[in-house]
Structure 1
């Protein structure tokens, strides 16, 4: 009888872990109702296809420039996210840049059943850059990325892996997915961090993704990079971002670190003018 109860408890625990893993790689889709038209800019609804056959949805917002910036949203967000995506798009447009913004796989209106939180999403960025270069080569002579959280991870990866991307801003980039994933269970779901070791195998099983740790790119990125870290971030510690910075600056003279007092991806919200000044200064210098 005791063995049967024990087996039932184990089964229920594993079933719960599987359920949590499934929910973690299949976030709810955020679809809003604002468009660049509400910001005073004409735009085009676009669709482009990734190398693994997914159709991604986005906006192309021309602005009469030969420089284009691609904002990259975080996990569970989309191009409509009003905390940082809307103000970033508006800021970039008002500063005269063209903007291409899209929803990562399994987010917003893009295809895809599961997110891999930084693994297969590199194909999404590559597809966006390819679409831009093929359809608007004159407007894409210089391409920059501004990423938040998961999007910041992809910014770092892109600087190492996508030739056409010349520089990037990484706001609140996770550096170690085991640590951030465990904290994320508590942050997103209110569950204990120790549960992550049991949930992690199921996230990989469902999504088919590999674990990506941006800290490993500290020895690969040699393009201009602005890192933004918040002292009150519950998902990513300043020490983890600083470790990347210290390693990267040994090979990259154009890496910068800005530490603020903000929680995760909230520097723009709490210090909007300072954030815009820092990012604009960075982009102006490196998108020449």
Structure 2
């Protein structure tokens, strides 16, 4: 017969283990993580609509209109059209970044409109007042730029052979890739642009989706699946050398924590002449013009005057 003391001892030091609680906790944690990753991935693919209440009139532009135009895949895009001052004048397409809207570059468009340039500022698909359910970070958005170019070329007061493009962040990457495919785009201004989306995805994701660093790779992979794209495709570095003799101006903020300043250096080195680079030392990712409007105005007007007469 087993000794009672030994039996009691075994009961004390070898209790029956209940695995249900730890397993439930693990399942709960995994479900919470999956929900978090999915919500942040959705934010990258379908960012919250940022509707502007500004208009060109707020920047002293007297002649402008609300316009809409359709992409080749049937989406209705919404924007503002500022006609050039002279009949047969030059015009510029302005392309905003992820989660932004048509007003992002309105200060620059207004400044250049004073010099006589026309402008088309529009909301990319899935942004602002434009149609579309999701962003592809620059792949399907090429159709948006193509539609914007066709809109400007159809305006009787615009010189169809005298059109340039200005883009910020994702919009700058789109501008470079669009110009590489659309020879009718005569010049490019690329602001705060990354060399390759996949190489900068962690910084971009942490900045835009407000993530802990360690979750970024999970969110990026999930977002790629939702968007149906491969971020390796989003490489303006591959396209920038294809601009041939068309001039390009790279502008970067010295305190940009979203896209490291080295990206601008690499893009500039890869581009073929004519090319220029402007560094705004105290500017971050989105405050280039705001930080030094005098320098930005001087360089942009000079670049345009040399390469795209109004």
Q: Flag whether TM exceeds 0.5 (same fold).
A: yes
By how many angstroms is 1:199 displaced?
0.7
Residues 45-84 of structure 1: pairs in structure 2 closer than 5 A: 45-65=66-86, 66-81=89-104
Matches of 2:139 and 2:83 in 1, distance apart? 29
Which of 126, 139, 148 lines up with 1:106 in the alignment? 126
Match of 1:40?
61
Q: Does 1:162 align with 2:182?
A: yes
Which of 289, 292, 301 lines up with 1:268 in the alignment? 289
Match of 1:231?
254
Alpha carbons of 1:134 and 1:40: their partners in 2 closer, same or farther (altered >3 Å)? closer
Matches of 2:156 and 2:212 in 1, distance apart? 48
Q: Which runs of 5+ in 2 are unaligned?
A: 1-18
SS in 1 for 2:77: strand
Contact 1:58 1:100 in 2 (8 A): yes
Which of 125, 130, 136 lines up with 1:116 in the alignment? 136
Alpha carbons of 1:92 and 1:204: their partners in 2 closer, same or farther (altered >3 Å)? same
Contact 2:177 2:240 in 1 (8 A): no
Contact 2:61 2:110 in 1 (8 A): no
Matches of 1:193 and 1:221 in 2, distance apart? 35
By how many angstroms is 1:138 displaced?
4.1
Structure number with larger C-alpha Rg: 2
Q: TM-score, normalised by structure 1?
A: 0.91
Matches of 2:209 and 2:174 in 1, distance apart? 24
Alpha carbons of 1:90 and 1:137: their partners in 2 closer, same or farther (altered >3 Å)? closer
By how many angstroms is 1:4 displaced?
4.7
Match of 1:140?
160
SS in 2 for 1:220: helix
By how many angstroms is 1:9 displaced?
2.5
Deviations along 1:35-94, one digit per CA (max 9) or x if unpaired, are 22342322222111111111100111113332001121111111133xxx2211210111
SS in 1 for 2:243: coil
Number of corresponding residues: 282
Q: TM-score, normalised by structure 2?
A: 0.85
Residues 185-196 of structure 1: pairs in structure 2 closer than 5 A: 185-196=205-216
Q: Which runs of 5+ in 1 are unaligned?
A: none
Q: Alpha carbon RMSD of aligned pairs, Å?
A: 1.8
Matches of 1:217 and 1:73 in 2, distance apart? 19
Matches of 1:41 and 1:35 in 2, distance apart? 10
Match of 2:226?
206
